[in-house]
Copies of this chain bind each other. A is one copy, B any other.
Amino acid sequence: MIDLSQADPAELRSMIRNAELIEPTAGMANGYAQANLAILKKEHAFDFLLFCQRNSKSCPLLDVTEIGSAIPAFAAPDGDIRTDIPKYRVYKRGELTDEVTDISKYWEEDMVGFLIGCSFTFEHALLNNDIPIRHIEEGCNVPMYKTNIPCMEAGIFHGKMVASMRPIPQKDVVRAVQVTSRFPAVHGGPIHIGDPEAIGVCNIDQPDFGDPVTVHQGEVPVFWACGVTPQSIAMETKPEIMITHAPGHMFITDIRDEKLGVL
């Protein structure tokens, strides 16, 4: 496999667009922010924008396209959200109906795309602080869980927060809070430290999305709000159509990670 960690975001988007790269984007274009995607029709765009504003831990917005435009003018002016993600999921009335590598055939003239910050940015920051990331060590997707934490409703949108989990050594937990709090645009500080059951996660070995990872003796499960929350919300809210990225298959932006740090 070619090492794409130092590749340019525009180059990667072009490869993805030409179907030369169909795989999870973790570890690609290091130093550049990647984004979750949600696409909705205009009739639901205000409600969803409000949902993101009210639930900014789960849905911190990096960019929103103009109505009918597939170009994220701020995050990647030469990008196209219809083609530049390796794998998409199409939800119709809350049901996952299709998984495709290009959504051009689903695109409508009144659609709006929402690019939502992704934890890859703060994972780099954790690694730079010598805090281990288990799912990277184990070469799998981060485990994600439906919690019992209600999102704040906005119009039709309601449901529970999805959280990702990283086992953190006891001695590093405080530093992990500090490091990730610098980046509110990519979920910021954790939403929970410790006992999974306290947030409704009954079996840490059975994530609802992604893969299970090992929690070693002396490690604490630490949970962050997750950009897969909109997919869970879509399943509950059942809009006529909602298109998202497939978990782990993100939109690679031109935004430098460090520019998202508030301090």
Contact = CB atoms under 8 A, between A and B. Distances in A.
Contacts of A190: none
B262 A181 contact: yes
A53 interface: yes
A128 B45 CA distance: 41
Interface string A148-165: 000010010000000000
A184 B53 CA distance: 14
A64 interface: yes
Given A182-B263, A188-B262, A53 B61 contact: yes
A152 B72 CA distance: 13
A257 to B, nearest CB: 17
Interface string A15-56: 000000000000000000000000000000110011011100
Contacts of A155: 66
Contacts of A66: 155
Interface string A171-197: 000000010011010001000000000
Contacts of A61: 53
A156 to B, nearest CB: 12
A220 B74 CA distance: 32
A178 B53 contact: no
Contacts of A184: 184, 262
A76 to B, nearest CB: 15
Interface string A66-105: 1000000010000000000000000000000000000000
Interface string A106-144: 000000000000000000000000000000000000000
Given A46-B45, A53-B49, A53-B53, A263 B178 contact: yes
A52 B74 CA distance: 14
Interface of A: 45-46, 49-50, 52-54, 61, 64, 66, 74, 152, 155, 178, 181-182, 184, 188, 262-263
6 contacts: A49-B49, A49-B53, A54-B64, A178-B263, A188-B262, A263-B263
Given A182-B263, A184-B184, 4 more contacts: A49-B50, A49-B53, A53-B53, A181-B262
